[in-house]
A and B are shown apart, each in its own frame.
Chain A
Amino acid sequence: MHEDQPPGWAVETRGLVKTYGKVEAVRGIDLTVRPGEVFGFLGPNGAGKSTTISILCTLIEPTGGQALVGGIDVVRDPGSVRARIGLVFQDTTLDDQLTARENLEFHAFLYDVPRSERRRRIDRVLEMVELGERAGSLVRTFSGGMKRRLEIARGILHSPYVLFLDEPTLGLDPQTRNRIWEYLHDLRRREGITIFMTTHYMDEAELCDRIAIIDHGRIVALGSPGELKGMVGGDVVTLRTRDDRGAAEEIGRRFGLEPLLDSGGLRLEVEDGASFVPRLLRELSVSVDTVTLSRPSLDDVFLKLTGHAIRDEEVGARDRMRAMAGRWRGARGRG
């Protein structure tokens, strides 16, 4: 897609390690990101996501291992790496005493955006994140979502080769999160930019081309959302019947499966749910009230790989509520 793109991986790490005294924040990370893909870095609080991003962006030096961005070593030539990346930090780094436009102008100078293009590009990114009308307002008067959008606009202003985003949607309402995702996909489509982002929202990870799941400083799985969910093994079928106990016994006998019986009904894991459900309905003698066929979620993957749910630890009540609301909405949507 790009003539000027360096060959090989957009991002590559080998045995990346970072320790703070006794704390092992990153414990040997190997990953590769393809040019032009949206790569998600998924993990719970304290997993080492921000630390990894900081190493890749040359803000901290690794204790061990190697990291390359666009084929350039982040330790040996940090200047060249900085010249090719954009970064949206986890915490805001805007100057809230300046206007939106002034923040972008500041950035344009730091990245030597050609004088002739400065204004046009600033207008373009402002328009893209729908802040054109607020360009002259002090950032102090912006909402959290507006600041986030402005930071994303700033991150792409100099057309970086790789855009790093650390939790770009944390704490934003679903509507704003959706819009930010639209921008990111639009960017990738239009400019073929490589996007490396961290998140601990499962539903967001689904929107990435590939995901690395990180837990306690280690990558526990890496692949497309589909591939990762494949690790759980097939689909999940949930049944409600007149006689759940009897149905469970009959399914075990007839199909050789081990149904799980809980308050939600009967849960079955099958290879190919779409063809299994009609067969089940045809052959089962117990009458069925409802059938739900669902794909395993990344939550299931995370649970299976690490033995704990991603949201278990150190998650604020606010986030937990939001996650529950999301799951509820998701379940309802599928049902």
Chain B
Amino acid sequence: MEGSAEAIAIRLGRTAVDTRRASILAVYVIWKRDVIRYWRDRVRLVGALAQPLLFLVILGTGLASALRGAGGLGGLDYQQFMYPGIIGMAVLFTSVFSAMSIVWDREFGFLREVLVAPIDRSAVAIGKALGGATQATVQGLVLLVLAPLVGVRLTPLAVLELIGLIFCLSFALTSVGVAVAARMESMMGFQFVVNFMVQPAFFLSGAMFPLTGLPGWMAVLTRLDPLAYGVDPIRRVALGAGGLPGPLLDRLSLTIAGEPVAIWVEVVVLVAFGLAALSAAIWSFRRRA
């Protein structure tokens, strides 16, 4: 055995690992692990569908009835208005939860297996951000099957555009989550994150009500919410495809200084936001053990 070709090959294999190559492979395999775990956890997949359904069917129906009496949204059905917001909600929650698995991995030790490997720590942040973004995108896309239920007709082109938009949003939100999780010591902080970051982000995003005619302070906060830059273009593409007139859409959309924000600008904002958060996450991972 000692002198066999195999033994020698293995011995010669004991040269130092190429850190750059290993880091790129690490991004891939960290992403892959997240995807495998997500796929294996069917309960979560189904469960994540239940909450949006609950919102759409019960809250949506209730509010739609109430608003119809009060004059409504200029002819737009409230359930239809809310539908893109619910996609945003699913993306938000999936992103945050998958990013928080870093804290879980830290508590259960698995993170150390990664931190002692001969890779650049940036690979951990990037792999996690992409893994979470993939999960959130899938979760958001699954909700597209509910479109007919609320009377939204999607064209193939709209679906393609939505895939891109949902991915950009997922990436931005997951990166923020990873940046926060990189600094968190234990799951204790998780409830804090949900209460003070996730829920406000959801409420301020325009998912449940149009971001027009708000008091000044709140208008400012909503424009600082990355989710707002995701919900708005998703709404415009999804409802626009369904034949909703442009002027009505413009009236409901995100404005800055009174002007509707173009979809490409919103995409740029999301990507920039994601990259900035990812840089912060990389910085945190490089700094700590």
Could you tell me the distance in whole angstroms from the C-beta of B40 to the nearest C-beta in chain A? 7
A106 vs B36: C-alpha distance in the bound complex, in angstroms? 12
Assess whether A246 is interfacial by the CB under 8 Å rule. no
Q: Contact at A190–B26, with CB atoms within 8 Å?
A: no
* Chain B residues closer than 8 Å to A94, beta-carbon distance: 110, 113
Name the interface residues of B1-57: CB closer than 8 Å to any CB of A: 1-2, 7, 9-19, 21-22, 25-26, 28-29, 33, 36-37, 40-41
Q: Pick the residue among B9, B41, B111, B118 that contacts A82 (CB under 8 A).
A: B118
Q: Report if A110-B112 is in contact (Cβ < 8 Å); known contacts: A83-B16, A83-B19.
A: no
Assess whether A109 is interfacial by the CB under 8 Å rule. yes
Q: Contact at B119–A4, with CB atoms within 8 Å?
A: no
Assess whether B114 is interfacial by the CB under 8 Å rule. yes
Most interface-central of B7, B12, B25, B111 (chain A CB within 10 A): B25
* Chain A residues closer than 8 Å to B1, beta-carbon distance: 190
Name the interface residues of A26-59: CB closer than 8 Å to any CB of B: 57-59
Could you tell me the distance in whole angstroms from the C-beta of A215 to the nearest C-beta in chain B? 26
Q: Contact at A191–B10, with CB atoms within 8 Å?
A: yes
Assess whether B66 is interfacial by the CB under 8 Å rule. no
Residue of B nearest to A186 (CB): B1
Q: Contact at B11–A102, with CB atoms within 8 Å?
A: no
A299 vs B143: C-alpha distance in the bound complex, in angstroms? 66
Interface residues on A, range: 35 or more
Assess whether A98 is interfacial by the CB under 8 Å rule. yes
A223 vs B172: C-alpha distance in the bound complex, in angstroms? 56
Q: Contact at A83–B17, with CB atoms within 8 Å?
A: yes
Could you tell me the distance in whole angstroms from the C-beta of A127 to the nearest C-beta in chain B? 13
Assess whether B109 is interfacial by the CB under 8 Å rule. yes
* Chain A residues closer than 8 Å to B9, beta-carbon distance: 117
Assess whether A295 is interfacial by the CB under 8 Å rule. no
Q: Contact at B114–A95, with CB atoms within 8 Å?
A: no
A117 vs B11: C-alpha distance in the bound complex, in angstroms? 13
Residue of A nearest to B117 (CB): A110
Q: Contact at A87–B10, with CB atoms within 8 Å?
A: no
Assess whether B267 is interfacial by the CB under 8 Å rule. no
Residue of A nearest to B29 (CB): A109
Assess whether A79 is interfacial by the CB under 8 Å rule. yes
Residue of B nearest to A151 (CB): B113
Q: Contact at A91–B109, with CB atoms within 8 Å?
A: yes
Q: Pick the residue among A3, A83, A95 that contacts B33 (CB under 8 A).
A: A95
Residue of A nearest to B109 (CB): A93
Assess whether A112 is interfacial by the CB under 8 Å rule. yes
* Chain B residues closer than 8 Å to A112, beta-carbon distance: 17-18, 21-22, 25
29 A-B pairs with CB atoms under 8 Å apart are A2-B14, A57-B116, A59-B116, A59-B289, A60-B289, A61-B289, A83-B19, A85-B116, A89-B109, A91-B109, A94-B110, A95-B33, A95-B110, A97-B40, A98-B33, A98-B37, A102-B36, A106-B113, A109-B22, A109-B26, A109-B28, A110-B25, A110-B26, A110-B29, A111-B117, A112-B22, A159-B10, A161-B14, A191-B7
Interface on B for A, CB 8 Å cutoff?
1-2, 7, 9-19, 21-22, 25-26, 28-29, 33, 36-37, 40-41, 109-119, 289
Interface contacts beyond A2-B11, A106-B33: sample of 10 additional A-B pairs, CB < 8 Å, sorted by A:
A4-B14, A82-B117, A82-B118, A89-B112, A98-B37, A112-B22, A113-B13, A159-B10, A190-B2, A191-B10
